[in-house]
Amino acid sequence: MVGNRPVLTIDYNPIPEPGDMNGDGLINENDVNPFVLALTDRMDYESLYPWIDVEATGDVNDNGSFDFGDVRDFKLLVSSFSNGFTKSLSASSAIPEPSSPLLCYFTLGALLMMRISACRR
């Protein structure tokens, strides 16, 4: 009690979001430096971000430990959120550029034209 008023104390322990290394609730470029710091100097990271469970937020590949194996998935996670996409920890697959089929058609057309002109001679 403070004076004659009761005091309400609320402990808020949110579920940590993997990749949110600075605890701002967002996964973006601002998490890169804290991620690197946590990998290279765990004690310094924990002194700067004492409210963050580094094992829970840093274990991006979900193998049970925060280590250098999380770097690739962290990079994918940050870039996917920075580009406005939904979270995806799986490896990205190659998607051909829209101009690739057009280039193939022009090449085939040019080869066909060369073949036709060679047959006319």
What pLDDT, in 10s, does the model give residues 72-120?
A: 999 988 888 766 544 433 444 455 555 666 666 667 777 777 777 777 7
| Structure token pair of residue 70 | 């999380």
Closest CA to 96 of 104, 107, 108: 104
pLDDT tens-digit readout, 17-26: 899 999 888 8
pTM of the complete model beyond 0.85: no
Alpha carbon of 104 to those of 47, 93, 94, 112, 118: distances in Å? 57, 21, 18, 12, 21
Rounded Cα distance between 23 and 20, Å, is 6
